[in-house]
Structure 1
Amino acid sequence: MKDYYKIGEISEMYDMSRDSLIYYEKIGIIKPTRDNNGYRLYSISDIWRLNLIKELKSLGFSFKMIKEYLENRDLDSTNKLLEDGITLLDDQILRLLKQKENMRKRMESIDKTASSPNLNSIELTYLKERKGLILNGEVKRDEDFDLLIQKLQKNYNNKFNILGNNNLGSVFKMNSLEKGITTDYESVFCLLKDNETEYNIIFEEGYYVTLIYSGDYTNNKEHIKNMFDFIEENKLIVAGNPMEIYRIDIHETENKNEFITEIQIPIKC
Structure 2
Amino acid sequence: MKKYYSIGEISKIYNISVDTLRHYEKIKLLEPAMKKESGYRYYTNEQIWKLNNIRNLRGLGLGLDDIKGFLETRSVSSTEKILNSQLDIVERELEKFNKLKEELLIKKSNLEYFKNEVIFEVPELKEIPKRRVIKSKGQVKEDGDIDFKIKLLSIKTLSENDFLFIDNEYGGTLSKENFFNGNYNVYEETFVINNEGTEDGEEIGSGLYVTVFYKGYYSESYKYYEKVKKIIEKRNLIIKGDIFEIFHVDIHSTENVEEYITEIQVPVENRVIK
TM-score when scaled to structure 1? Answer: 0.76
TM-score when scaled to structure 2? Answer: 0.75
- 1:144, distance to aligned residue in structure 2 (A): 0.8
Structure 1 residue aligned with 2:128: 127
Structure 1 residue aligned with 2:186: 184
Matched, 1:268 2:269: yes
What are the Cα deviations for residues 75-110 of structure 1, in whole angstroms up to 9, with x where unaligned? 443344344444443443343333222322221122
Structure 2 residue aligned with 1:35: none
Structure 1 residue aligned with 2:257: 256
SS at match of 2:241: coil
Q: Kindly indicate whether the alpha-carbon contact (under 8 Å) linking 2:123 and 2:212 is maintained by their aligned counterparts in 1.
A: yes
What are the Cα deviations for residues 195-244 of structure 1, in whole angstroms up to 9, with x where unaligned? 83322212232211111112222221111112112212322221112110
Q: Kindly indicate whether the alpha-carbon contact (under 8 Å) linking 2:209 and 2:268 is maintained by their aligned counterparts in 1.
A: yes
For residues 138 and 20 of structure 1, what CA distance do their matches in structure 2 show? Answer: 58
Give 2:190's aligned amino acid: V
Give 1:93's aligned amino acid: L
Structure 2 residue aligned with 1:151: 152
Q: Kindly indicate whether the alpha-carbon contact (under 8 Å) linking 2:241 and 2:267 is maintained by their aligned counterparts in 1.
A: yes
For residues 3 and 101 of structure 1, what CA distance do their matches in structure 2 show? Answer: 49
Give 2:129's aligned amino acid: K
Q: Kindly indicate whether the alpha-carbon contact (under 8 Å) linking 1:132 and 1:190 is maintained by their aligned counterparts in 2.
A: yes
Size of the alignment, in residue pairs?
Answer: 259
Which moves more between the two structures, 115-124 or 76-85?
A: 76-85
1:170 to 172, 176, 180: 172
Q: Which structure has the greater CA radius of gyration?
A: 2
Aligned-residue RMSD, C-alpha:
3.7
For residues 268 and 186 of structure 2, what CA distance do their matches in structure 1 show? Answer: 21
SS at match of 1:261: strand
Structure 2 residue aligned with 1:98: 99
Structure 1 residue aligned with 2:61: 60
SS at match of 1:69: helix
Give 2:187's aligned amino acid: Y
Change (3 A) 1:29 1:171: farther
Change (3 A) 1:110 1:25: farther
Alignment gaps of 5+ in structure 2? 32-38
Change (3 A) 1:236 1:111: same
Give 1:162's aligned amino acid: L
Residues 8-87 of structure 1 aligned to structure 2 (within 5 Å): 15=16, 30=29, 44=43, 51-63=52-64, 65-87=66-88
For residues 216 and 87 of structure 1, what CA distance do their matches in structure 2 show? Answer: 48
Q: Kindly indicate whether the alpha-carbon contact (under 8 Å) linking 2:132 and 2:203 is maintained by their aligned counterparts in 1.
A: yes
For residues 254 and 163 of structure 1, what CA distance do their matches in structure 2 show? Answer: 19
Give 2:182's aligned amino acid: G
Q: Kindly indicate whether the alpha-carbon contact (under 8 Å) linking 2:30 and 2:51 is maintained by their aligned counterparts in 1.
A: no
Q: Kindly indicate whether the alpha-carbon contact (under 8 Å) linking 2:7 and 2:18 is maintained by their aligned counterparts in 1.
A: no
Structure 1 residue aligned with 2:141: 140
What are the Cα deviations for residues 4-62 of structure 1, in whole angstroms up to 9, with x where unaligned? 979xx97xx8556969986x799x67488xxxxxxx99885988755533321123335
For residues 176 and 25 of structure 1, what CA distance do their matches in structure 2 show? Answer: 70
- 1:260, distance to aligned residue in structure 2 (A): 1.2
